Amino acid sequence: MHRGRRYSLTREKMKLQYAFRLYINNDAGERVLGKGGAEILEAINECGSIVEAARKLGMSYKFVWDYLIRMQKRLNQPVVVTHRGGAGAGRKKGGGGTTLTPIAGALLREFGSTERLIGNSLSSRNKILIRRFSHGSRSVLFFRAP
């Protein structure tokens, strides 16, 4: 028999769920892409501009730029291609922009696919967790009092 205080899990309905953090690392174990980075790449892909992507995400341009530079260093290859704007050389004013490189696009797709796969798997496990701990279960936690 356990000595110590006894706490019932049924005093309040518990809302437990599994959660995860997903990262793509390089061979040195450095994080190359996580959820925040995927959001940055997605916004750049949608907006066609680092400035607009940063504005959409509520981030500073410098933060987004520094993230892209760090990602580029960890991959040893560029993740975006920038095109200067302004008038001249046959360009219209404001004609600049940013596009993802093929590697950045592929990493973004792979990250999204893996995130969905894990999320779907955990969704079914969350249902089991909720059934087990939220519906009048008689489970009791024990721990030793100090």
CATH classification at residue 46:
1.10.10.10
Is 7 part of a structural domain of the chain? no
Number of domains in the chain: 1
**Domain that residue 111 falls in:** 30-84+95-137
Is 16 part of a structural domain of the chain? no
The 10s digit of each residue's pLDDT in 58-81 is 999 999 999 999 999 999 999 999
Is 56 part of a structural domain of the chain? yes
Neighbour-count burial of 22, counting CB atoms closer than 10 A to its CB (0-12 exposed, 13-18 middle, 19+ buried): middle
> Mean pLDDT throughout 42-62?
96
Mean pLDDT of the chain: 83
